[in-house]
A and B are shown apart, each in its own frame.
Chain A
Amino acid sequence: MARTDVQLMLDVKAGDEQSFELLLRKYRTPLIHFLYRMVRDSAVAEDLAQEVFLRVYRARKQYAPSAKFTTWMFRIATNLALNSVRDNRSRQLEISLDQKVDAGEDEQHVIEVRDRAPSIEQELLARGRSETILGAIHALPEKQRAAVLLHKYQDLDYGEIAKILECSDSALKSLLFRAYETLRIELAPLVKTTGG
């Protein structure tokens, strides 16, 4: 009989390295997929995935099966990904604000910091369809992005996602609605309605 994730983790806690190997093999790919969609950089996604497994391994002695293993693992992954996105964004902001701006005679020139991805038309010209979708997801607020990726691609139930994002079930449903509504509008040219 196949052991559950929690049982595997308890075996790791007891010193069974093979059980950790099984967890690694099972979750390596979905974790990297999730992290890649969060940070849009395969090298960073791999690095973060390694960090997730390292943290799981380090915490094995204190592991208590209070929640599903996937909830715990994706919570670590989500926090790491959000930190990475924030660090990267602040780095980019520093660079763009440090750049010299030719203000001309106007002393009160305002640096415009874009907070949205380019329009769908520009994206379609420059990139392929997949990149456009990834860009639209990336333009979502961090929590909405994580919610969509966990809901759509990791097949986690609402309770699990709510625990990962530390919010209530109803707040999560509203969050998901707002995220999908934004994507529906942003990706309208790509979306074919099933009825028409």
Chain B
Amino acid sequence: MWAWKRNREASKKGCTRTQAQFVAYLDGRANPSERRVFEDHLAGCATCRARAEEFRGLCIALDGLPVADPSPAFDANLRARLAAESTPRGFWSSWVPAPRFAFAVMALLLMAFWVSSLPQSSRAPVFSAQAPASDSDFRMIRDLPVLENYDVLSKFDVLSELPGVSGALVDRNREDTE
């Protein structure tokens, strides 16, 4: 009883060890030593013997697998695709694979054209708006000694005619100076 169990365990171990060699043995690609080991195992393992028989039957069954042959149009279609591959492409067709680049170049060209087509007058304010401002600044700086002279300003009646300045304030200034 124990001997039978021991043989069975050994056979199981052999089964797992020989699994990788199973296919190579059946398709005739196992080397002689692998073949001998496998045949020794088969001689003592009824399960693997039965399995090997079923594998042989399976190989015969698989031989009858249907196939699809190339259609008559296969060669013609392939030649057309190959011809399209090897035809040298013109200058304009070289833009086709890079549409983003072509679009970017087009956009730049259009923008450059638009900027150059703007009338001079519409571009002038950008510069002329600066000119008067700097001119008045210059005049103010030039007149600064006069404006800072208190005596001149206190006798400057024109200030009383200014809309925001009250006459009282001007009179008070006059009294102060006197």
Among B24, B64, B66, find the residue whose CB has the most chain A CB atoms closer than 10 A.
Answer: B66
Total residue contacts A-B, CB cutoff 8 A = 107
Is B82 a contact partner of A57 (Cβ separation < 8 A)?
yes
Please classify how large the interface on chain A is, using the bins under 10, 10 to 19, 20 to 34, 35 or more: 35 or more
With known contacts A133-B62, A152-B62, A191-B61, A32–B69 Cβ distance under 8 A: yes
- A sample of 15 more A-B contacts (CB under 8 A), given A192-B57, A192-B61, is A29-B70, A33-B69, A36-B68, A37-B65, A46-B68, A46-B74, A49-B74, A50-B77, A50-B78, A133-B62, A137-B65, A177-B23, A193-B53, A193-B54, A194-B53
Interfacial residues of chain A within 175-196, with CB under 8 A of chain B in the complex:
176-177, 180, 183-184, 187-188, 190-196
Is B58 a contact partner of A184 (Cβ separation < 8 A)?
yes
Contacts of A158 in B (CB 8 A): 24, 29
Contacts of B17 in A (CB 8 A): none
With known contacts A50-B78, A191-B58, A57–B85 Cβ distance under 8 A: yes
The CA of A53 and the CA of B60, in the complex, are separated in Å by 32
Is A131 a contact partner of B66 (Cβ separation < 8 A)?
yes
The CA of A122 and the CA of B53, in the complex, are separated in Å by 26
Contacts of A153 in B (CB 8 A): 65
Contacts of B29 in A (CB 8 A): 157-158
The CA of A42 and the CA of B72, in the complex, are separated in Å by 13
The digit string for B15-34, where 1 denotes a CB below 8 A from any CB of A, is: 00001111110010100000
Residue of A nearest to B24 (CB): A173
- Would you call A91 an interface residue if the criterion is a C-beta within 8 Å of the partner chain's C-beta atoms? no
- Would you call A68 an interface residue if the criterion is a C-beta within 8 Å of the partner chain's C-beta atoms? no
- Would you call A151 an interface residue if the criterion is a C-beta within 8 Å of the partner chain's C-beta atoms? yes
Interface size on B, residues (CB 8 A): 35
Residue of A nearest to B27 (CB): A151
B65 is contacted by which of A46, A134, A195 (Cβ under 8 Å)? A134
Interfacial residues of chain A within 44-72, with CB under 8 A of chain B in the complex:
45-46, 49-50, 53-54, 57-58
Among B27, B60, B62, B81, find the residue whose CB has the most chain A CB atoms closer than 10 A.
Answer: B62
The CA of A188 and the CA of B54, in the complex, are separated in Å by 8
The digit string for A128-158, where 1 denotes a CB below 8 A from any CB of B, is: 0111011001000000000000011100011
Contacts of A176 in B (CB 8 A): 23
The CA of A151 and the CA of B27, in the complex, are separated in Å by 9
Is B68 a contact partner of A42 (Cβ separation < 8 A)?
yes
List, sorted by A's number, 14 A–B pairs whose CB atoms are closer than 8 Å: A24-B75, A29-B70, A32-B69, A50-B78, A131-B66, A152-B59, A158-B24, A173-B20, A173-B24, A174-B20, A183-B62, A191-B54, A192-B60, A196-B53
Is A194 a contact partner of B57 (Cβ separation < 8 A)?
yes
Contacts of B75 in A (CB 8 A): 24, 28
- Would you call A119 an interface residue if the criterion is a C-beta within 8 Å of the partner chain's C-beta atoms? no
- B167 to chain A minimum Cβ distance, whole angstroms, is 89
The CA of A153 and the CA of B82, in the complex, are separated in Å by 28
